[in-house]
Amino acid sequence: MLDRELLNTLPDVVRDRVLTINEQNRLRYSGDDQQLIGRIGYTAPDPNIINDAVTALALGKNVLLKGPTGSGKTMLAELLSHLFYQPMHSINCSVDLDAEALLGYKTLTYDDSSNAHITFVSGPVEKAMKHGQILYIDEINTAKAETLPILNGVLDYRRMVLNPFTGETVRAKEGFSVIAAINEGYVGTTPLNEALKNRFVVIDVPYLQGGALGNMLKEQSLLKDEHVISQFVTLSQDLLSKVKEGQISEEGASTRSLLDACDLSAYMPPQRAIRRAMIDKLEDDREKAAVQNIAETIFGR
């Protein structure tokens, strides 16, 4: 079901467009494809995030979600897939990502008479293009610079790619769209090449804060004590101030880690939960001490 409350936050023209695409896709997709349709779960720190991402996609733009680790970029991509009722094919980039991981690979198959055939198994880029569906490219800035140019033609007005393994020129069917995510400045990432970045509309995805964070923690975490949840919201706020002052790195204030700490706190004292889920992940001793101090101020020793 579409989330009516969420849809009502969108301007009329955008909402109508989403409803039309959603309805058309509902009639098109069944079975396997339905399993690739994302879930509702993302809470936006600012309603313009969803509004602008939906608008850009409805206009056929590529969307680049930019934000720190665990800020909900994948969840937002899933929500967009859900809103458009459009299956989503995902690629998790890394330095090992190669053309085969994007486009597909050849393999040997056997028919009923045990005769061997070489068949091509489509990768996520080819599948999303041929079916006119969503391609989600996670951590696009961890891929090797040599691999990404394959995507240039896919991302611009041509919407096509030459598959070197089959010799086929693949053209995207209507409805094909691309959502990518980057985590700028994180270890192991490189700044995204300008030509590639130029092909996207950029949406910033910051960490949730305040009341919206409290509601999300209430909904998603195992912790049900409202007072302790509000203490975690304060912890997050104080951590983000330290991030702004440059005392701790952005991932020290990750919503994902905060959620883990809340879950653990349902079964152990918050201080220990914070150490396991947040402090011990950090490399730098000064950062560890800074988080520890904040936690002690809020939860006591």
Q: Contact residues for ligand ATP (CB under 6 A)?
A: 41-43, 67, 69-75, 138, 181, 183, 208, 216, 220, 255-256, 259
Q: At its nearest, how many Å lie between ligand ATP and the CB of residue 50?
A: 10
Cβ 139 to ligand ATP shortest distance, Å: 6
Q: Look at residues 157, 160, 75, 94 and name the one whose alpha carbon lies nearest to residue 125.
A: 160
Select 43 or 271, whichever has its Cβ closest to ligand ATP: 43
Least spacing, CB of residue 290 vs ligand ATP, in Å: 21
**CA angle, 272 then 249 then 232, to 5°:** 40
Residue 199 half-sphere exposure, CB side, CA atoms within 13 Å?
A: 20
Place of tokens 């094919």: 89
Q: Which residue is nearest to ligand ATP (CB)?
A: 72
Q: Which residue's structure tokens are 């910051």? A: 206
Q: Which is nearer to ligand ATP, 166 or 234 (CB)?
A: 234
Question: CA-CA distance, 129 to 173, in Å (whole number)?
Answer: 6
**Smallest distance, ligand ATP to C-beta of residue 28, A:** 26
Plot region of 127 (φ>0 → left; ψ -120 to 50 → alpha; else → beta): alpha
Residue placing its CB nearer to ligand ATP in the complex, 73 or 82: 73
As a whole number of angstroms, the distance between CA 36 and CA 10 comes to 24
Residue number, 86 or 183, with CB nearest to ligand ATP:
183
Dig out the tokens for 210 from the structure.
């305040």
CA distance 130 to 135: 11
Q: How far is the CB of 227 from ligand ATP (least distance, A)?
A: 22
Q: How far is the CB of 210 from ligand ATP (least distance, A)?
A: 12
CA distance 9 to 26: 22
Residue that the structure tokens 């990432």 belong to = 189
Q: How far is CA 240 from CA 126, 223, 266, 301, in A?
A: 40, 22, 24, 21
Residue 212 is encoded by which pair of tokens? 């919206």
Compare residues 152 and 189 and give the one whose CB is closer to ligand ATP: 189
Nearest to ligand ATP of 219, 285 (CB atom): 219
Q: From the CB of 261, what's the least distance to ligand ATP, in Å?
A: 12
CB of 38 or CB of 270, closer to ligand ATP: 38
Closest alpha carbon to 73 in 204, 162, 265 = 204
Q: Which of 207, 212, 218, 293 is nearest to 262 (CA)?
A: 218
Least separation in angstroms between CB 77 and ligand ATP: 8
Closest CB to ligand ATP among residues 29, 136: 136
